[in-house]
Structure 1
């Protein structure tokens, strides 16, 4: 299944596991990489030395390529980048910031750089900054999201029309059929988050994993646009946010309600009432918790089956 992305990262399948906070530790990243995809460690929920530990354990658990996802709003970004370079990580996905800041610095040290965007405008800015590839993430995605509410299957062809470098689709992809659809629309690969939350190796709490499996259509919604748009499962905390909105809150009111470590409380500690539960709309298609390698295998098998079905259509 060779294409620009598999060649860029030296992987078997054009399938990338998203570097999600509180879910993407070394166990998940190494499992996906060993299965032929590209695993990513999510640095957004890790102190620098914790990230170093995860990188070192991942290197012991796999001899395949893996990467680190780094939200550039991270307060200790310089330490994070120093550790990534010192530990010999060869692939970095950046997000939530200006790609110009770190791209050249990392590439000069032999690191491939990919930037995550939610619009054509920022895809082009990333290309101008010299990144090796772009992840275009649609409105369906879990976690922090774009404000424009552009869906993945609208965004991908619009980005593809103007982009020259490899394009990775994210948001709403959890099956092989979804993977094929994204690639037909112009993506070179897909980045999958929510499906891997419901995996044995994800570091998220079992309570959260089970809520993902229970979720159905309409159980998530994008909110908190005034701070950083985030897609959440509807729970008590989500309803508290909606209740606050009815009083026309200030930004400070929203910050006070959010407090500190709300995502950790929900996704890592398993507090289903007061925690922030970030997941994508595609949760409605996730019905079980299974090993990451099995998820990769099933997605690729379904991709190949769907491809043959489409090829056999009599028009």
Structure 2
């Protein structure tokens, strides 16, 4: 398979693994890269010295391209960006901030820069900032979402109309059929989070994985909209958030309820009662924890079968 995304990252398949907090360590990123996709380390849940360790372990575990996802709200952002330069990282995905802030710096140091957006407006700003590609993420995605609440199926054609940059689709994509649908709408690659978060190589806690693999349709909800819209598994914590929001809790009250380290508690430590359990809507399609290699084989096989089915349909 060859297109602009494959050529940009020098990968076999146009499949990128989302840089998810508490899931995307060196084992997951290197496994995805070794399977022909692009693995990403999730810097958002790592202190600088921990990220440095994961970069070096990833470099030792794969000779294929990999990257780092950096939320631009990261508190030690200057230290992280310089570390990426010093450690020879070649691909950086940025999110949750203005792409103009760091794109020039990263590109001056020879890096490929991608920014994650939730609207066509911000896709246009990415092009102005000089990024190499964009990820358009719909609100089906797990974790932090855009305030627009635009679905992936609606977002991709809007972004495609706005910019000619290489485009990846994210949010609610975890199968070959989903990848094919995204391509039909104008995407050239996909970024997949949830499906990879539930693999053997993910650093998420086993209790979290098994809970997510038991979810049914409708078992996640977008909450915390006054703070930062976040898709969560329904449970004790989400009930508390819903009750607070229904009585009109302000931003300060919601932040106090959220506290610190709640995502780590839920995703990494497996506290399913008190933790913030972030996962995408598509989790309900999956029931078995398998390896990254098996996931990648299934996605590509199903994508190719889907292409053939479309060809057969068009022959009528």
Scaled by the length of structure 1, the TM-score of the pair is 0.99
Report 1:49-88 matches (<5 A). Answer: 49-88=49-88
Match of 2:247 in 1: 247
- Quote how far apart the aligned CAs of 1:293 are: 1.1
Measured against aligned partners, the alpha-carbon deviations of 1:262-298 in whole angstroms (never above 9, x if no partner) come to: 1000000000011000001101111111111111111
Q: Quick one: distance in 1 between partners of 2:164 and 2:135? A: 13
2:232 aligned residue: 232
Structure 1 residues without counterparts, runs of 5 or longer: none
Q: Runs of at least 4 residues of structure 1 off by over 4 A?
A: none
SS in 1 for 2:169: strand
Aligned residues between the structures: 315
CA distance in 2, matches of 1:147, 1:281: 17
Deviation at 1:246, TM superposition (A): 2.3
The equivalent residue for 2:45 is 45
Q: Is residue 225 of structure 2 the alignment partner of residue 221 of structure 1?
A: no
Within the alignment, does 1:94 sit opposite 2:94 as a pair? yes
* CA–CA distance in structure 1, aligned partners of residues 93 and 193 of structure 2: 14
C-alpha deviation, 1:248, in angstroms:
1.0
Match of 2:282 in 1: 282
Q: How does 1:1-315 map to 2 (within 5 A)?
A: 1-313=1-313, 314-315=315-316
Instruction: Give the whole-Å Cα distance in 2 for the aligned partners of 1:119 and 1:247.
Output: 30
RMSD: 0.7
Aligned-partner SS, 2:100: coil
Aligned mates of 1:90, 1:246 — CA distance in 2: 45
Provide the rounded CA distance (Å) in 2 between the counterparts of 1:88 and 1:180: 34
Instruction: Provide, for residues 125-177 of structure 1, a one-character-per-residue CA deviation record: whole Å limited to 9, x for no partner.
Output: 01110000000000100000011110001000111012111000000000000
**SS of equivalent to 2:213:** helix
CA distance in 1, matches of 2:247, 2:308: 54
TM-score scaled by length of structure 2 = 0.99
**In structure 1, C-alpha distance between the alignment counterparts of 2:286 and 2:157, rounded to whole Å:** 26
* C-alpha distance in structure 2 between counterparts of 1:238 and 1:208, whole Å: 15
Alignment partners' CA distance in 2, 1:241 and 1:109: 43
Distance 2:45 2:119 in 1: 25
C-alpha distance in 2, partners of 1:189/1:248?
Answer: 40
Shift in Å at residue 83 of structure 1? 1.0
Partner Cα distance (1:296, 1:246) in 2: 41
Alpha-carbon distance in 2 for matches of 1:224, 1:77: 24
The SS at the match of 1:312 is helix
